């Protein structure tokens, strides 16, 4: 192309020379830019592999000393350099489970409200307000949880649970012990508020993507609004909804600051959800700067690696499911 354009200009060799030079510069610039963008894209991949490699590298001393037992040991004693990850893993899983137990039904119902019941002009403001919850930094949830929410729970909900469900045989042990205010349950509740916007916004998006014809057909058969959502919208959007839930779960598992404030940082596994506990991220945030000795630091980095592996699996599954539904809609 360029050569053809040039051949018309033979009459003025000096000018042609300048043009050739200019074109050469442009071509060079083009190649440089192209390779720069490619390098940046590869850089994103390197970033993630860098995270994984550095975490593995940092946790080698801990895994060498404790072996596989690190994952199932309940001890955490910095004085004798004896570490086990089980209480932190347990706390992470249980707080996230409580969070999802509340956030999933509430998020689904809000999405139901936003897509089927809410008047058109109110949809955007309410949607944005819910998403603002996601924008509030986690340290704000932490300070609010510690000074306002935990004392409130200690005075109201927790004594109530202890006096009612606490006396029921079987599940009674879940609600045994004094009302501390801070603890596993409080962390779970705060996490529920934090992941609610993620579950809601993704569920709303996949609900909105359900073809109108399907819903109209169901309404035409005489279904009520709830029956349409329950029997048409939900089954159609199922994969996307599960993807959204997993994405919220990924957030809840890795959430640090809010939990650090209200979990109590106690390295033990209690049957009661009212008792203080710890999570992986809270342990790292609380102890990393005070960790003396290579083994202590390495044990904390190993906890970080475990957290990263768990969230990676959850998030990868979430993305895979969301990609599947995008492909079906797209």
Partner 1 sequence: MPDKILPSRYSGRRRNNAVATGLAFAATAFGLGWLVLILGALLWKGFSGLSVAVFTQMTPPPGSSGGLLNPIIGSLILTVLAVLIGTPIGVLAGTYMAEYGRYDRLTSVVRFINDILLSAPSIVIGLFIYEVMVAPMGHFSGWAGGVALAVLVIPVVVRTTEDMLTLVPNALREAATSIGLPRSLSITRICYRAARAGMMTGVLLAVARISGETAPLLFTSLNNQFWSNNLNAPISSLPVVIFQFALSPYKDWQSLAWTGALIITLAVLALSITARALVPSEKQS
Q: Which is nearer to partner 1, 273 or 307 (CB)?
A: 307
Q: Least distance to partner 1 from the beta carbon of 187, Å?
A: 15
Residue closer to partner 1 by CB (options 54, 163) is 54
Task: Report the nearest approach of partner 1 to the CB of residue 75 (Å).
Answer: 22
- Asked if 223 contacts 231 with a C-beta cutoff of 8 angstroms, the reply is yes
Q: Which two tokens stand for residue 321?
A: 């499911």
Rounded to a whole number of angstroms, the minimum distance from the CB of residue 168 to partner 1 is 25
- Name which of 169 and 222 has its Cβ closer to partner 1: 222
Q: Minimum CB separation from partner 1 for residue 172, in Å? A: 27
Q: How far is the CB of 214 from partner 1 (least distance, A)?
A: 18
Alpha-carbon distance of 31 to 33, in angstroms, equals 5
User: Tokens in use for 75?
Assistant: 């001890």
Nearer residue to partner 1 within complex by CB, 162 or 287: 287
- Across the chain, which distance is largest between two alpha carbons, in Å? 101
Query: And the tokens for 90?
Result: 């347990």
Those residues whose C-beta lies under 8 Å from the C-beta of residue 297, and which sit 6 or more positions away, are 58, 288, 291
Residue (197 or 240) nearer to partner 1, CB: 197
Angle formed by the axes of helices 184-208 and 120-135, to 10°? 140
The rounded distance, in Å, linking the Cα atoms of 126 and 134 is 13
């Amino acid at each position: 192309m360029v050569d053809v354009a040039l051949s018309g200009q033979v009459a003025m060799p000096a000018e042609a020379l300048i043009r050739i030079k200019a074109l050469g510069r442009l071509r060079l610039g083009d190649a440089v830019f192209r390779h720069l963008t490619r390098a940046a894209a590869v850089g994103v991949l390197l970033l993630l592999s860098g995270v994984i490699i550095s975490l593995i590298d940092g946790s080698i001393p801990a895994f060498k000393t404790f072996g596989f037992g690190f994952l199932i040991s309940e001890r955490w004693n910095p004085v004798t350099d004896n570490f086990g990850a089980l209480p932190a893993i347990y706390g992470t899983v249980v707080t996230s489970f409580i969070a999802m137990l509340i956030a999933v039904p509430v998020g689904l119902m809000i999405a139901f409200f936003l897509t089927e019941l809410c008047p058109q002009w109110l949809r955007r403001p309410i949607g944005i307000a819910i998403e603002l919850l996601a924008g509030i930094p986690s340290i704000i949830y932490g300070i609010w949880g510690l000074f306002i929410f935990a004392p409130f729970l200690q005075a109201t909900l927790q004594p109530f649970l202890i006096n009612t469900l606490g006396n029921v045989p079987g599940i009674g042990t879940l609600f045994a012990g004094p009302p501390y205010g801070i603890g596993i349950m409080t962390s779970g509740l705060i996490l529920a508020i934090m992941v609610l916007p993620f579950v809601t916004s993704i569920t709303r998006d996949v609900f909105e993507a359900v073809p109108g014809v399907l819903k109209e057909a169901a309404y035409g058969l005489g279904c009520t609004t709830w029956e349409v959502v329950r029997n048409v919208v939900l089954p159609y959007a199922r994969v996307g909804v599960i993807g959204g839930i997993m994405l919220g779960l990924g957030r809840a598992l890795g959430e640090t600051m809010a939990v650090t404030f209200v979990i109590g940082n106690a390295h033990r596994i209690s049957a009661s959800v009212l008792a203080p506990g710890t999570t992986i991220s809270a342990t790292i945030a609380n102890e990393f700067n005070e960790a003396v000795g290579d083994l202590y630091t390495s044990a904390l980095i190993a906890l970080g690696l475990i957290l990263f592996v768990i969230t990676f699996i959850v998030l990868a599954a979430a993305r895979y499911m969301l990609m599947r539904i995008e492909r079906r809609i797209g």
